[in-house]
Structure 1
Amino acid sequence: MDATPSRSRVRRSLTPLAAGACAIALAGGCTGPGPAPAAAPAQQAVVSRAAGDLEDRYRAVIRDVLPSVVQVGAGDGLGSGIVYDGKGHIVTNAHVVGDEKTFDVSAATGEKVLKASLVSSYPEQDLAVIKLDDVPDGLRAAEFGDTDEVEVGQIVLAMGSPLGLSSSVTQGIVSAVGRTVSESSSGGGTGATLADMVQTSAAINPGNSGGALVNLDSEVIGIPTLAATDPQLGDSAAPGIGFAIPVSMVRTVADQIIRTGKVTDSGRAALDITGRTVVDDDYRPAGVAIVTARKGGAAEKAGLRSGDIITRIGSTRITTITSLSEALAGDDPGQKVKVTYTRGDASRTAEVTLGEI
């Protein structure tokens, strides 16, 4: 799955949407030429109360969470961030901070622009932590939920600064969980392969990156990071297909950065190699050649060496560096996997105990 990071460059183009061609009746479907039959008063009352209750919950969530979502200015780019604690730490995406070390932070409550500095960036998981130079009174940290409780069909709100429009809110559902997506390395992306992503139908646009995906209990369940692209639309964003880094990974990375200034335990499996994609006689991707196998690393311990070409991990065919990263994304450090590779003209297999990124 190709996806692009949602980082805004301030320039924006807003296109009005046309009204729908047909109305939707209570029971579903489009009305015909004549008027739709009126719902019974009792049904109308029930629907009206349910709609009012849902609107009230939306408003409550927005009141609870939006003050904890900030706009992050990094050089000439804009993104979003979430207040992580009362000490001024803000978690965002690595592709939002880029190579910058200092940032302008604007809160939803409209205070003056605040200055912040980079604590550390972890591009391998596209996460970063920055810290306000001066912590204002009343700074409110967000509440973070539980990844294990995220379910398909859950209503969610995405909060951030799409296209530089600060404090924007969109709504949708959790469309899927456990997605593995590879981020483009062009356009400011990190090129990371990200596992266990939350897929959502809530609109994710440039500038939403680093913001909050929130459930109706006012808990952050993910950080919107990527929007899927459709090659048939000229690689523009595919509507209704966005991805958020799950809150479990956000906590894992942010807690380590805040505690030690770096990530020492990624929880991500690795072969401990550097590699490159190789092609066959028809110039089609055909595997990953090992350029170097780190001494004492997972691959080297299993007998793999420079020049070997990896073609499978378990039953998964490997053709490119990206497919290798995606195959490993669902595995854990210490797990044993069967690696199929070629050395010269011979095909071989090895059992590899995976290392850690």
Structure 2
Amino acid sequence: MKEKKKVSLGTALAMMLVGAIGAGTLTGVAATQFAPENSTAVNALNEPTIHRTATKEPGSVEDVASNVLPAVVSIRVAGPSAVDEGSGSIISSDGYVLTNNHVVDAASQGGQIQVTLNDGRTFGADLVAGDPSYDVAVIKLRDAKDLPVINFGNSDDIKVGQQVVAIGSPLGLSATVTSGIVSALNRPVRASGQAGGESSLIDAIQTDAAINPGNSGGPLVDMSGNLIGMNSVIASMSQGGSEAGSIGLGFAIPVNQARKIAQELIQDGKVTTPKIGVRLAPQSRVKGAVVGQVDEGSPAQEAGIAPGDVIIGVDDRATDSADALIAAIRSHNVGDKVTLKVTSIDNQNDVKDVPVTLS
């Protein structure tokens, strides 16, 4: 099988330009083909420029972009062996920025962070803290003050089908705005860590807004300009070492979770992960999360969960895999009370409600 041809960004733009010229030529032929012989030619080059008179409508993509762009930054991290690029949202006027851990992870090994604001100003920045399992990090701009701040929304209010806008710096193209809809909620998405590092598992918002490498850490906002998610992962058809690109399957960390983690990182420098205290059997063919081991003294043990049990739901949410269960538990806080839907491999028709307090 022949290798598929790859088109660079420059080539793609050139091809689009050629296509536009060709289309214009064809349109000109069609428009003049049946004109009367004695008609007077109209040359648009000689006509006066028509200025736009309409103003942006509230709630339009244009309105959202103009309000949110000032609070979105481009991030560049020069590490020991590579340069990583991504995006972020300003969450405090004195320079705290929310982003993905994988964008700034090289800073923990001595990499230097440079942040560029939408107005062109650049700042050095320091890594406050990050968590690879949630893929959330916070950095702090040096000597920053009076910065524009993004508004936090509520990801619990998100509905499938609602319009959203993604902003960031895909492929280094800063201040790029794309739009789409929320395609699905509660997608358990696992992404491998960089250079063999710890993988992340997010309880994701799925969107068809175009997200590409470099969008990571940037905001996904609603049509009021409120932050509802942090763009983090894309699905890709590419294989091997080829660069991934948008195929309409992008995933964002819900803002309620990202906000909670950011607060913990700033206050404590680490994140407390809620648990039920079980080890799950890998690669089970059963639909659900199969319990392989129960930790001594854990909430699961106290609730009577045993090896061989299958957890198929948390409250009103189905968990059809181990990752789905982990993502569902991580969406809660330590101390929350949840109800597990538990069955067994031998008798999957017998479903029990098991209340558990997360530790």
TM-score greater than 0.5 by the shorter chain = yes
Q: Which of 79, 99, 104 is equivalent to 2:86?
A: 79
How far, CA to CA, are the matches of 1:327 and 1:230 in structure 2?
A: 27
Look at both structures and tell me which one has the larger radius of gyration over its CA atoms.
2
Counterpart position of 1:41 = none
Counterpart position of 2:172 = 164
8 Å Cα contact 2:153/2:255 also seen in 1: yes
Displacement after TM superposition at 1:83 (Å): 0.8
Counterpart position of 1:309 = 308
8 Å Cα contact 1:335/1:353 also seen in 2: yes
SS in 2 for 1:100: helix
Deviation per CA, 1:255-279, whole angstroms, max 9, x where unpaired? 2322333334x5x5x3312334156
RMSD of equivalent CA atoms? 4.2
How far, CA to CA, are the matches of 2:341 and 2:249 in structure 1?
A: 33
SS in 1 for 2:125: strand
Structure 1 residues 148 and 271 mapped into 2: Cα distance closer, same or farther (>3 Å)?
Answer: closer
Displacement after TM superposition at 1:285 (Å): 9.8
Whether 2:208 is the aligned partner of 1:201: answer yes
Matches within 5 A, 1:22-37: none
Structure 1 residues 161 and 322 mapped into 2: Cα distance closer, same or farther (>3 Å)?
Answer: same
How far, CA to CA, are the matches of 2:101 and 2:211 in structure 1?
A: 17
Q: Which structure has more RCO (C-alpha within 8 Å, separation ≥ 6)?
A: 1
Displacement after TM superposition at 1:121 (Å): 1.5
Which is strand-richer, 1 or 2?
A: 1
TM-score by length of 2: 0.69
> Which amino acid counterpart does residue 106 of structure 1 have in structure 2?
T
Deviation per CA, 1:119-171, whole angstroms, max 9, x where unpaired? 22233332111112x2334422212223344444444321111112222222x
Displacement after TM superposition at 1:205 (Å): 0.4
Whether 2:269 is the aligned partner of 1:261: answer yes
* Structure 1: gaps (5+ residues): 1-11, 24-33, 36-48
Matches within 5 A, 1:52-131: 53-54=56-57, 57-74=60-77, 75=79, 76-98=83-105, 100-101=107-108, 103-112=113-122, 114-131=123-140
Number of residue-to-residue matches in the alignment: 310
* Structure 2: gaps (5+ residues): 1-7, 24-29, 32-51
TM-score by length of 1: 0.69
Counterpart position of 2:232 = 225
> Which amino acid counterpart does residue 301 of structure 1 have in structure 2?
E
> Which amino acid counterpart does residue 81 of structure 1 have in structure 2?
G
Displacement after TM superposition at 1:231 (Å): 7.9
> Which amino acid counterpart does residue 114 of structure 2 have in structure 1?
D
> Which amino acid counterpart does residue 294 of structure 1 have in structure 2?
D
Structure 1 residues 104 and 295 mapped into 2: Cα distance closer, same or farther (>3 Å)?
Answer: farther
How far, CA to CA, are the matches of 1:64 and 1:314 in structure 2?
A: 40
8 Å Cα contact 2:75/2:85 also seen in 1: yes
Displacement after TM superposition at 1:324 (Å): 4.0
